[in-house]
Amino acid sequence: MVTNDSTKDVEHFNRWSRTYDDSWIQRYADRVHTEMLNVVTNEIAAPNTVLDVGCGTGRLLRKARALYPSAQLFGVDPAKGMVELARGQVPSAAIYLAAAESLPLSDSSVDVVLSSISFHHWSDQLTALREISRVLRSGGCFCLADISIPVWLANLVQHIKVKSPAATSQFFEEAGLPVKVQHRTFTRFILLTLGVKGSKGV
């Protein structure tokens, strides 16, 4: 389900795509990406397939390429401008114009799914988590990093669907991805959550 709010978000990212890599957000995003890959590598040392959901210009996929040189990489993003840039930045990855709520990948085909600073834009977060669970193989993991501010504060800003740590864990659980790792990072503004398909969680 794509709502008007999320259409506006996607249009915003489409416009932002040309200058996104030079923007202030990169100072923080790069540190978040590095931490995500550390947490993932602890769980699965050498994944064969990696998908980045809401991949933007492909910066996280580029880091994944350096860390997992022989892995098959996929990215999805609903903003056309972002997809075009990601295709240029990570030519060896398959990048699709698609949203998290409807992933163009087969069941049980991916070892690791990543998503950074994108989740709060998704129009139907639970459907998207179920999609991620569908494409993950059993034992595969999903590492999500997203903004973590008090929900009352997030509610003052339209289009920001920030979840508390407990609500995030519950969504993961409902999607069949019990949470194994969850902590705040980067001066507590980012919540990192890792769920493993088919596990018992913590």
Ligand X SMILES: C[S@@+](CC[C@H](N)C(=O)[O-])C[C@H]1O[C@@H](n2cnc3c(N)ncnc32)[C@H](O)[C@@H]1O
Which residues sit at the interface with ligand X, rule CB under 6 A? 6, 9-10, 13, 29, 53-56, 59-60, 77-79, 82, 99-101, 116-118, 121-123
- Nearest residue to 133 (alpha-carbon basis) of 66, 178, 91, 167: 178
Nearer Cβ to ligand X (71/117): 117
Nearer Cβ to ligand X (71/76): 76
**In angstroms, what is the minimal distance from the CB of 123 to ligand X?**
6
- Nearest residue to 182 (alpha-carbon basis) of 167, 195, 163: 195
**In angstroms, what is the minimal distance from the CB of 20 to ligand X?**
7
Spatial separation of the C-alpha atoms in residues 45 and 78, rounded to whole Å: 29
Name the token pair of 113: 């799914």
Nearer Cβ to ligand X (35/101): 101
Task: State the DSSP code for 180.
Answer: E
Nearer Cβ to ligand X (27/200): 27
**In angstroms, what is the minimal distance from the CB of 138 to ligand X?**
24
Look up tokens 């990601």; give the residue. 86
SS3 183: strand
